[in-house]
Amino acid sequence: MASIDATAAGSGVVNAPYRMCRFTGLKVDQAAETLIKVHAVTAVIFLALGGLMGLGVALTRWPAVQILPPEWFYLVLTGHGANVLLFWIIFFEMAVLFFASAILLGSRLAAPKVAWLGYILMLVGALMANYAVLRGDSTVMFTSYVPMQASHWFYLSLIVFAVGALISVMVFFATLVVAKNENTYDGSVPLVTFGAITAAIIAVFTLASGAIILIPTWLWSLGLITEIDSLMYKVVWWGMGHSSQQINVSAHVAIWYAIAAMVLGAKPLSEKVSRMAFLMYILFLQLASAHHLLAEPGMSASWKIVNTSYMMYLAVLGSMIHGLTVPGAIEAAQRRNGFTRGAFEWLTKAPWGNPAFSGMFLSLVMFGFIGGISGVILGTEQLNVLMHNTLYVPGHFHGTVVAGTTLAFMAMTWLVVPLIFRRDIIWPTLAKWQPYLFGIGAGGISLFMMGAGTLGVPRRHWDISLADAAHRAVEFPAAAYLMMGLNGLFAILAALGGLVFIVTVVASILAGPKLDGPDAKMVFPLHDASRQVSEYGSEGTLKLPGTIILVGIFFAAFVLYYFVNWKYLSELWLFN
Partner 1 sequence: MAETPQKAPAGEAREKVPMMQQVLDNPFLLLFLGVTVPAVLYLIWGIMEVASVPVGQ
Residues making contact with Cu ion (CB under 5 A): 242
User: Which of residues 315 and 356 has its CB atom nearest to partner 1 in the complex?
Assistant: 315
Min CB(129)–ligand HEM separation in Å: 13
287 binds, among partner 1, Cu ion, ligand HEM, none (CB under 5 to 8 A by kind): partner 1
User: Which C-beta is closer to partner 1: that of 168 or that of 307?
Assistant: 307
DSSP code at position 307: I
Question: Coil, helix or strand for 7?
Answer: strand
Nearest in space to 458 (alpha carbons), one of 392, 408, 375, 404: 392
312 is a contact residue toward partner 1 (CB under 8 A): no
Distances (CA, A) of 139 to 74, 136, 154, 468: 6, 6, 10, 22
In DSSP terms, which residues pair with 17 in a beta bridge? 7
Among 191, 79, 167, CA closest to 126:
79
Number of helical (H) and strand (E) elements in the chain, helices listed first: 20, 3
Which of ligand HEM, partner 1, Cu ion, none does 232 bind, CB closer than 5 to 8 A by kind? Answer: partner 1
3-state DSSP call for residue 458? strand
- Tell me how far, at minimum, the Cβ of 115 lies from ligand HEM, in Å: 23
Binding flags for ligand HEM, 418-457, as an x/- string (CB under 6 A): ---------------------------x------------
Site string for partner 1, 221-260 (x = CB under 8 A): --------x-xx--xx--x---x-----------------
Which residue's CB is nearer to partner 1, number 311 or number 408? 311
Residues 535 and 185 sit within 8 Å (Cβ to Cβ): no
Of 47, 31, 40, which is closest to residue 83 (Cα–Cα)?
Answer: 47
State the DSSP H helix or E strand holding residue 103, giving kind and residue range, or none if neither.
none
Q: What are phi and psi of 27, to 5 degrees?
A: -90, 125
The answer to whether 241 and 212 are in contact (CB under 8 A) is: no
Q: Cα(first)–Cα(last) distance of the chain, in Å?
A: 77
Contact track, ligand HEM, 485-514, x by CB under 6 A: ------x--xx--x----------------
Q: Which is nearer to Cu ion, 234 or 242 (CB)?
A: 242
Please choose, out of 52-60, 236-244, 470-478, 504-512, the segment that lies near ligand HEM by the rule CB under 6 A: 52-60
Tell me: does residue 173 bind partner 1 (CB under 8 A). yes
Interaxial angle between packed helices 243-264 and 89-98, expressed in degrees from 0 to 180 and rounded to the nearest 10? 50
Q: How many residues are present in the chain?
A: 576
Q: Which residues bind partner 1 (CB under 8 A)?
A: 173, 176, 186-189, 194, 197-198, 201-202, 204-205, 208-209, 212, 229, 231-232, 235-236, 239, 243, 272, 275-276, 279, 282-284, 286-287, 289-290, 293, 298-300, 303, 306-307, 311
Q: Which residues bind ligand HEM (CB under 6 A)?
A: 51, 54-55, 57-58, 61, 77, 80-81, 84-85, 89, 141-142, 394, 398, 401-402, 406, 445, 459-460, 491, 494-495, 498
